[in-house]
Amino acid sequence: MPVAALSLPRAEGANHYRMERQKGLLCAGNGEIVHVSLGERHVVERGIDYRRAPATPPGFIDREEATGIVLGTLQVGLASVEVTGEHGIGKSWMLRRAGAEAQSLFGDGVVRVPPGTFGGSDLLQALFEAFYGVEERCRPGRQELRERFVGTRALLLVDDAALDDNAIEQLQDVAPGCAVLLATHQPRLQRDVGPIVLGGLSAADSMALLERLRGAPITGPELGEALEHCHATRGHPEHLSRSGGADPASLDRLDPTSRAVLDMLAAFHPQAVQAAVMTDLCGRRDALPAIELLIGAGWVYQDDGQVRLMPHVVTALEAAPVRVAQRRIDGLVRLAHRAARQPRAMASGLVALPLLWSALDAARRTHAWLDVMAIVRAWDVPLVLACQWDAAKRALDWHAKAAWKLGDERERAWALHQRGTLELAQGYPPLAAQLLRESFALAEQVEDHALAASARYHLGWLTPEAPPEGWGSTSGPMPLAASDPFESSAGTNSPAPDARHMASHPPMRSLVAQVALAFAIGLAGVLTVAAVVRMGDAPVSPRGSTSVGEETARGLTRTSVEVANPGR
C-alpha cells in the first residue's frame, strides 16, 4: 500500500478549531477568527468591475452550434447548464465565450466561481464574496443571503467543480434569479435537459485553428500533412495547438528547478496547475522564472494562469506511482501550511482545490489511507478560514473513513469533532450533537482528554439550559453517509462501516422513565389481549354490514384475521 512518509500531527495546535461563547465566532488554533453571521457589521457592495466576465479568449475557434445551445438554454430560464468533455477539449474557453455572450441576459453581471468549489453553501459563499465585502472573514447565514439575493439576476461560471443537483437547488432557494453554467469532465447533474458534450473540432475548424496558429494559410504540399494531423488528433484543440516543441530526450540537461516544475505538473496531470501556487507546490522560490523558461523552450504552455505540460512530453515524465503520490502529498502539504500561516492570501490557494480532490481520489483508489489523512490534516484549517466549509466537511468525511479503514479511533474522533463543530457553527444542532457525542465517546476511549474536553464544551451549546443564540434551525443538514465520498465514487467496493461505528449515543434514561415505559407497554398488552378475546366471542359480520363504531373498534383485529386466512 503506497504510504507517504509524513507524520500525522497529534497535537491540537493549528489543526484545531472551536466555537467561542460569543455570537457567531469560529476560532482556529492559530488565533484566526471567522464570523459565522453578518450581524450588525458593515457590508460594502463591490463595484461592477469585480464581477465582469472575461473577454472571449484570443484564438478561440467559434463553436457556433454549442454556443447557441448554451445561450438558448439560459434564455429559457433553466437554473443550470452543464458543458462536459475530456481534458483540453475546450470547456474552459467555452465558459469564457458563453459568459461574454450572456452578459446581456443577466442584468447583475457574470461571476467566476473559484475552481474546485464543492457544495451549495460554498457556491453561495462565492456569490456573496463577488457582490459584497466585509471587514473580516464572514460566513453569512442562509436567511441573510436570501434577503440579499432574492432579486439578483446573475450568471455563475463554475469550472472544474464538484457540484450536484442539491447545490443547484440551494442556489435556487436563495437566489432564484441566478443561473449556473458548469464545466465538468464527467456529467454530474441529473436534469431533464442533458449536458452539452463537447467533442473534437470539425475538419474545417481544425484547419482554421492550424492556420490561425501559423499566421498564414496552409497550401500546397503542407495541406495534406495538415489534414492528416487533424485526423490523427481527432480535432482535439489541445493536441492540435500544442504539437512539436522540446525534445523529451533532453530532460537530463534541465536545471533542478525546471525539472521540479515538470515533475509536479506530471504528478497532477491531466489537471492544470495555477502558476500562482507553483512556488509552494515545488518548494522552490524560483519556480515562476523557471516556468517562463519552460514555456519558451516548448515544454509547457500557459492559458488563463493555468500551466499544462505539452502533450508529447507527458510520457517522458512518467514515474513510479509511489513517487508520484509523494510529490502530490508533499506539494499540497506545503501549500496548506503557507495558507494556514497567511490566511489573508488564501485566494491564491483556493485555485488548488481541484488538485486537492484529484490527490484525495488517487489516494483512495490505491487505498493509501495515511496519505488521505495527511492531506486532510494539512488542509482542515485553511479551508475553514477560507469559508469553504462544504469542502472542509467533505475532506473530513474522507479523513473519518480513512481512519476507520485503519482502525485509528483517535484520528476518527478528531475528524468527527471538526465535522460536528462546523455543523454547530452552521446551525444544525441534531447532526452536530450526533457527531460530537460520537467524537466524545471515542476520545474518552483512546484517552485524548483535550479532544474530549473540547467535544464536551461544544455539546454544552446544545443543552436546553444554554442554547446558542439564533441557532435554532434544524432543517437542511445532510446525514454524514449521504456525503460520503467513498460510497459515491463509481466502482468502489469498500464496505460500509458497521452501524455501531456511526450511530449516535443517546443519553441514558432515568429510572422513573424506564418504569413508566414498562407500565405503558404492559397496559398496551392487556388491552390487546382483551380485544382479541372479545373478537373471538362475537360473530364476524358480513363484509360491508358492520356499523361505523364496530369497524373502528375491531378493524385492526379483523385485518389480522383476514391476512392470516385469505380464503375467507
* Three-class DSSP labels, 440-458: HHHHHHCCCHHHHHHHHHH
Measured distance CA(565)–CA(529) in Å, rounded: 20
Say which residues have a Cβ less than 8 Å from residue 446's Cβ, sequence separation at least 6: 409, 410, 413
Question: Which grid coordinates are listed for 519?
Answer: 407500565
- Asked if the bond preceding 270 is cis, omega within 30° of 0, the reply is yes
Per-residue pLDDT tens listing for the chain (568 residues)? 333 333 333 334 445 777 776 657 888 777 788 888 776 677 888 764 445 555 555 566 767 788 788 888 888 777 888 888 888 788 888 888 888 888 888 888 888 888 888 889 999 999 998 888 887 888 888 888 999 999 899 999 988 777 888 888 899 999 999 989 888 887 878 766 678 888 888 777 878 777 776 777 777 777 777 787 788 878 787 777 776 677 888 888 899 999 999 999 999 998 889 998 999 999 999 999 999 999 888 899 887 788 989 888 888 898 899 999 999 999 999 999 888 877 766 666 677 889 999 999 999 999 999 999 999 999 998 898 888 999 999 999 999 999 999 999 999 999 999 999 999 888 888 889 999 999 999 999 999 988 898 888 888 877 654 444 433 333 333 333 333 444 444 333 333 333 323 333 333 334 444 545 555 555 555 555 454 444 444 443 333 332 223 222 222 222 222 222 223 3
pLDDT at site 520: 56
pLDDT at site 474: 34
Question: Which grid coordinates are listed for 337?
Answer: 501550511
pLDDT at site 518: 57
pLDDT at site 538: 45
pLDDT at site 540: 38
pLDDT at site 39: 67
pLDDT at site 8: 37
Q: Label residues 15-27 b or e (16+ Cβ within 10 Å = b).
A: bbbbbeeeebebe
Contact 239, 233 (CB under 8 A): yes
Q: Label residues 88-106 b or e (16+ Cβ within 10 Å = b).
A: bbbbbbbbbbbbebbeeeb
pTM exceeds 0.85 for this model: no
CA atoms within 13 A on the CB side of 281: 29
pLDDT at site 161: 75
CA 279 to chain centre: 25
Measured distance CA(489)–CA(7) in Å, rounded: 27
pLDDT at site 530: 53
Contact 236, 89 (CB under 8 A): yes
Measured distance CA(157)–CA(183) in Å, rounded: 8
DSSP secondary structure letters along 345-408: GHHHHHTTHHHHHHHHHHHHHTT-HHHHHHHHHHHHHHHHHTT-HHHHHHHHHHHHHHHHHHT-
Measured distance CA(194)–CA(189) in Å, rounded: 8
3-state percent helix, strand, coil for the chain, nearest multiple of 5: 55, 10, 35
Say which residues have a Cβ less than 8 Å from residue 73's Cβ, sequence separation at least 6: 81, 193
